[in-house]
Amino acid sequence: MAALAYNLGKREINHYFSVRSAKVLALVAVLLLALCHLASRRYRGNDSCEYLLSSGRFLGEKVWQPHSCMMHKYKISEAKNCLVDKHIAFIGDSRIRQLFYSFVKIINPQFKEEGNKHENIPFEDKTASVKVDFLWHPEVNGSMKQCIKVWTEDSVAKPHVVVAGAATWSIKIHNGSNEALSQYKMNITSIAPLLEKLAKTSDVYWVLQDPVYEDLLSENRKMITNEKIDAYNEAAISILNSSIRNSKSNVKMFSVSKLIAQETIMESLDGLHLPESSRETSAMILMNVYCNRILKPVDGSCCQPRPPLTLLQKLAACFFTLSIIGYLIFYIIHHNAHRKNKPCTDLESGEEKKNIINPPVSPLGILLQSFCKLGLIMAYFYMCDRANLFMKENKFYTHSTFFIPIIYILVLGVFYNENTKETKVLNREQTDEWKGWMQLVILIYHISGASTGAFEKIFSLWPLSKCFELKGNVYEWWFRWRLDRYVVFHGMLFAFIYLALQKRQVLSEGKGEPLFSNKVSNFLLFISVVSFLTYSIWASSCKNKAECNELHPSVSVVQILAFILIRNIPGYARSVYSSFFAWFGKISLELFICQYHIWLAADTRGILVLIPGNPMLNIIVSTFIFVCVAHEISQITNDLAQIIIPKDNSSLLKRLACIAAFFCGLLILSSVQDKSRH
């Protein structure tokens, strides 16, 4: 009864909701989301730097996620490379001094927080000619104004970046009086034109004051309240933003530190200064704001402009546009011809004359339709992967984000089971099932942030790198090859043994029959289970990754062979398969390729965000569209293969020669464009 109910329910679902209707729904979702994001960019602005400087949230305890973009964590070498021959100046009070220390430690982690607190602190890295100075000006007064005024003179060398901010000192020494706030407004009004003038040649950031934890403040700081800080911040924002009439101020507000402080100020030691982790986050944001547009890191989408269209992208756009136009013309002509051939009614007899046969589907029509669909899909790829239309966010790993989806797909895989058409070892349904669950595990591994880079690097030979703009290196290929260098030989040996046993009629591959005799089957099953568990325990408890990588090529065959035997020795296990996993297995290649462009971001380092503010709903919608696109690409490539690859050998060679010439032409064009860039 349960099986009957399941089959009836399945038919009912398929009657109302098919793969085709799912793809139509996905297309509608893409169009609506694209329009929403376009409207958002139009009315809220398209500058990700503003979002980086003003908004964000914590994904975990110490992982900061800016709104709509990804933040790169700069290494020492990257920071030095970006800041070579640069001069950065921090001017302000003790809070700015802390930010200065955190910024310098990105360049030199050994730099110690020494020196007098109320004096200027210089830093210079001679290897990269980087100069970073802290200038002690705890109040917005004549002293700070004179310092900034000197930089505005044409004959004086100006810092490339100026980070300024002050307020708490004024609140403290004037006991939080209203007169001090009025004086602060007057002083900041007097330096606003100077900051604006300096901002024309340098990057100028005004750091808004972070909130305090009033319960931890010492007695001589009790007058520094969050109410006073808000008043000073409002004064700074209104004056600096209105320093230029009818145009946008060039002085950028660094207000994101306020959001960071709201979450972490409770960890402060004195209630005034932020904990080190928060200061490091603010310093890294500054580094991203300045360096992302220079170094263009893959996983740092904040403050990066949309890359210009390459020659190959323009040619591809022209090709797919012509394909769409050609398909529309073909459809109109074919539709008109079909209308002329429609059955008509005989006026004398009143009977309908029917056509003898329906016209066959034209290969040209299938070809144009396939290219038309592929062009639309490539446009979506470009919107997700290259254009700044959709948002991108960093990944953050938790055990629940990895194991809950794994358990969920496992339950679905077990629930959707059917009988196999054949019961041979590693039959087609079983291998599709195997590819399916492995691909789903890899996808969850990537989307949950559990990956450590094993699937992220792409090795590419020079022609492929030139033609498709891939950044690869020989070391990555060498590392991957060494991990699986014996796989082909293991597979050949297994196939030889299997065929030999099959020829000698040792195997029993009937439905429900064990593969060997009962004693041999039970013995091999026991050995397989023990081997599988032993290898799993060894791999999970591996302490030295280098040693495990050395042993992996030789011993991985044990676990694979154990899994094959466990899956195929019992007759009942060999006779059923998971249709859920097998369905995904049939499009596993498309899923693996598409994930880099329309599901994840920055070569799996981030996540594509179609619906901001709701991570769960975003994953559901983006996954639905991603799977529909992968399935459609599978069908398109299958249709194209049927047309482009003929059965005749001579025709096949001619077409292969044409395809080779086509890619050689693309390679030459790409090389010419690359030379013109440099």
Catalytic residue, chosen from 67, 137, 273, 446, is: 273
Q: How far is CA 192 from CA 244, 251, 497, in A?
A: 9, 9, 82
Residue 481: how many other CB atoms lie within 10 Å: 11
270 an active-site residue? yes
Q: How, if at all, do strands 252-254 and 203-207 pair? A: parallel
Closest CA to 622 of 307, 391, 306: 391
CB-based contact 172:220 (threshold 8 Å): yes
Rounded to an integer, what is the distance from CA 473 to the centroid of its chain?
A: 21
273 an active-site residue? yes
Catalytic residue, chosen from 21, 238, 242, 270, is: 270
Catalytic residue, chosen from 94, 177, 508, 575, is: 94
Residue 80 identity: K
Tokens of 562: 């154990």
Name residues whose C-beta falls within 8 Å of residue 6's C-beta, 6 or more positions apart in sequence. none
Q: Which long-range contacts (CB under 8 A, 24 or more apart) does 620-624 make?
A: 621/29, 621/33, 622/598, 623/599, 624/22, 624/25, 624/26, 624/29
The per-residue DSSP string of 124-174 comes to EETTTTEEEEEEE--SSSHHHHHHHHHHHSTTSPPPSEEEEE--HHHHHHT
Tell me, what DSSP letter sits at residue 253? E
Tokens of 587: 């499009």
Rounded CA-CA distance 311/296 in Å is 20
Rounded CA-CA distance 497/516 in Å is 14
Tokens of 574: 């060999």
Rounded CA-CA distance 487/298 in Å is 32
Name residues whose C-beta falls within 8 Å of residue 194's C-beta, 6 or more positions apart in sequence. 145, 148, 149, 152
Longest dimension (CA), the chain: 111
639 an active-site residue? no
CA–CA–CA angle 460, 461, 463 (5° rounding): 115
Active site residues: 94, 270, 273
